[in-house]
A and B are shown apart, each in its own frame.
Chain A
Amino acid sequence: MAGTHISPTRMQLKREKARLVTATRGHKLLKDKNDELMKQFLEIVRENMKLRIAVEKKVEALHRSFTAASAAMSPEGLDQALMLPRQSVTLEMTEKNIMSVHVPVYSFHTRLAEDGGILPYGFANTPSELDDSVREAGDLLSDLLELAAKEKAASLLAAEIEKTRRRVNALEHVLIPQTKENIKIISMKLAENDRANTTRLMKIKDMVLNQAHNYE
């Protein structure tokens, strides 16, 4: 690796080799994780898109029918009719673990104040359009909840995929090549030292023999 100094010792060589093994194993694991995340994500996001298109249509229809209802009565009357809802919604949230990404799972309970339907008003002063739109809104609830869960899951998974992909790339294109290069440098340097040592020994052997026996 250019720029930084590494000491060409066997100790360092051992260390770099261990690092390479860890990095390679980590890379494989992260890559597998990313693949699986992607598979799950594509599944969820496809459903998410479908659901969103459907829900948007329904919400727009709901707005239309509310507009129709509000046209048939005064704004004050509408306010009054809807002021005290009879249904209350409590939401329970649990977490699901998809490849160590925690995504929310929602379930909801509706509770009616007393028997007799969801409509919080008497029929005398309200148009029938309002009844329909309130019922429509009630039916929409479970779809909206599913949309929320899917959409949150999709965006959390997307963030995780992005993170994992960066890690995979960093390992693949930076850390692993760097470590390989280091190993190469160290082993070349060690071999070079070895050769230098061998030639020096040969030379010294020659000199010693020469001194002792006057060999030529």
Chain B
Amino acid sequence: MKIAVVGDYDSILGFKAVGLDVCPASGADEVRAVLKRLMGDGETAIIYITEQAAACAEEEIALCRDRLVPALIPIPGREGSLGIGKQRVKSSIERAVGADIISGTIREA
């Protein structure tokens, strides 16, 4: 199975060198089209997506959420972290527990 990285070209170039499948996409429509293709091919197990790209493809991310494959993981893009990744962890805590009881107790290492 494959690991894909989605985002603007500059942010994901680095992952190309280590052998991941990079799928450059800029703009909401392009990101969505790329995600749809990756989610449909059945070969891609993990999709890393820059937070900047993740921000414009909420629907696709929600679709992946309860599925085993693929795992859509937001990572910070070149412009830095938007907090979407942490927000996702928080929201799954809220979903399970009802309130965020964890993130306050973890200090930045």
Contact = CB atoms under 8 A, between A and B. Distances in A.
Contacts of A53: 86, 106, 108-109
A66 B1 contact: no
A89 B76 contact: no
Interface residues of B, number: 42
A23 interface: no
Given A137-B14, A151-B71, A89 B46 contact: no
Contacts of B45: 91, 93, 104, 106
B36 interface: no
A interface, size bucket: 35 or more
A154 B73 CA distance: 12
Contact of A63 (B76, B92, B103, B108): B76
B81 A60 contact: yes
B26 interface: no
Nearest to B45: A93
Contact of A108 (B3, B78, B85): B3
B16 interface: yes
Nearest to A102: B68
Contacts of B33: none
Contact of A89 (B14, B19, B86, B88): B19
A77 to B, nearest CB: 12
Interface of A: 38, 41-42, 45-46, 48-50, 52-56, 59-60, 62-63, 66-67, 70, 78-79, 82, 85-93, 95, 102-104, 106, 108, 110, 118-120, 133-134, 137-138, 141, 144-145, 147-149, 151-152, 154-159, 161-162
